[in-house]
Chains A and B, each alone.
Chain A
């Protein structure tokens, strides 16, 4: 490519980039500016102070963070041993596990929660025997359904992260070496495999965190007082506090993604999210 063509290309690119930047930054800058105008005739962080002072905010935000932690633990405990096992003993099963882990892309959250309400509002019976009690009848067991649902939503990301991580190490040799040194399964999983998957798990966990904190659909329809429903409610009757919390949510997502790009050293696909 000669110098003049290169200059043309780069002019065109600059225009595209600037249009994109305006589109992306305007809502954020505008929301931030708006959130500072809660007091008449002066800029202040009053909206933030008021938002944080609301006990319901603290409650729902802490709650959502706990849900995120529970989801990450459940997801790791479910995905890591399974993926490891499949890599080692059942490689033929890999396409099946992969297909299942991608199913959440096919089943939107709204239909998933519809199915949960349909199935778990009453006991699940097999041949007339109640195998599972109606999980949605108490708030404690509703939380189980919610965390399970979030685990489902996180599965595509978590599976992909762990699968890539396991492909990068020689699972069989590591396992055999550990076994020959007398390690049991617990030791192998927790002291050999997990440490080798640190990067993969960290990016999977951060992405899960970004999905769960602020999630609306599942939490609303299962009636859980999480941060997403709280924020949506707040938007109905307040003006400045929702903008303040919007900026906070954005910053949290941003921190999570910067950490991901830091641990994965910029693999672009690892951060792509879908809804």
Chain B
């Protein structure tokens, strides 16, 4: 009798605090998970579930299939086109900028002012950005007027700030800086020894870039361009402020759907949002995988 009592007692003395510690340990992260559940997972999973339901709540794939019908299909295509175009142009020129300020042999102040400015520009988006371009290249904008004074009407020769190319021009204002900011550390990770080793083996500057530096940077370049793609793909405010909803992008369509069920099928609207999340998800996975490739070489 005495023995069992001791066992229970010591057993309890051993297990109870341990259970309590585990409990308390997990208690510390509950607020975060509760918040993430309420304001991130619940809203997105609700979109997810409703995408696979008809208006009566029965399971259906009709909404997903419906994404490939007009006008949703052309909305997706327009969004993908503008994102791909600005990711490509933004990626290439943003890389050249990053190259110029890091390895281009320019004074230090060029690099620091570009980096600071890029921080501003990559965060300067939405309504003010659209307005800045309207004030300059809109129908009565400053540069448009300047051209008019020398007898060229930009809008007569095919330029239009409010169409696909105009919006691309505006998007590039935040695409270049993002590319620049992410590529600078990669470019600075290129070790001078590699260049010296290549030179010792008789490689020219061009050969060094083509055979050594570029292949090392390629995953990072592609990965960041995917990030730029996602950056443009999810943008709503800039496009809306510039075109007032006339351009047929997915984000604009979703906005119209929220304002008033323009598709006459709420579940189709949810499916459209789900399609966006799916594409963004693929982008982030691609970015992460490519970034991991980069880190093998750079630092």
Contacts and interface: CB of A to CB of B under 8 A. Distances in A.
A69 B136 CA distance: 33
Nearest to B184: A268
Chain A binding surface, main DSSP class? helix
Nearest to A5: B205
A116 interface: yes
A36 B105 CA distance: 38
A221 B143 contact: no
A111 B227 contact: no
B43 to A, nearest CB: 3
B105 A6 contact: yes
Contacts of A215: 126, 237
Interface size class on chain A is 35 or more
Contacts of B124: 249-250, 253
Contacts of B112: 266
Interface in A11-35: 12-14, 16-17, 20, 23-24, 26-28, 30-31, 33-35
A258 B116 contact: yes
Interface residues of B, number: 94
A102 B40 CA distance: 11
Interface stretch (B66-74, B151-159, B171-179, B212-220): B171-179
A108 B176 CA distance: 20
A114 B269 CA distance: 9
B136, B173, B237, most chain A CB atoms within 10 A: B237
B241 to A, nearest CB: 5
Contacts of B173: 23-24, 27
B127 A231 contact: yes
Interface in B105-144: 105-106, 110, 112, 114-128, 130-137, 140-143
A119 B32 contact: no
Nearest to A262: B116
A236 B243 CA distance: 11
B106 A17 contact: yes
Given A110-B273, A116-B39, 10 more contacts: A1-B205, A106-B281, A109-B236, A119-B46, A236-B244, A242-B135, A245-B131, A268-B185, A272-B181, A274-B122
Interface of A: 1, 5-6, 9-10, 12-14, 16-17, 20, 23-24, 26-28, 30-31, 33-35, 78-79, 81-82, 85-86, 89-90, 93, 97, 100, 102-119, 124, 132, 145, 148-149, 151-152, 207, 210-211, 214-217, 221, 228, 231-232, 235-236, 239, 242-243, 245-246, 249-250, 253-254, 256-258, 260-261, 266, 268-269, 271-275
- The 10 A-B residue pairs with the shortest CB-CB distance, nearest first, are A115-B43, A13-B104, A108-B234, A271-B119, A30-B136, A13-B100, A85-B28, A216-B237, A273-B123, A82-B32
22 contacts: A17-B97, A81-B28, A82-B31, A82-B32, A85-B29, A89-B25, A90-B26, A90-B29, A100-B36, A111-B44, A112-B44, A119-B46, A221-B255, A228-B126, A231-B128, A232-B241, A250-B120, A253-B124, A261-B119, A268-B118, A268-B181, A275-B237
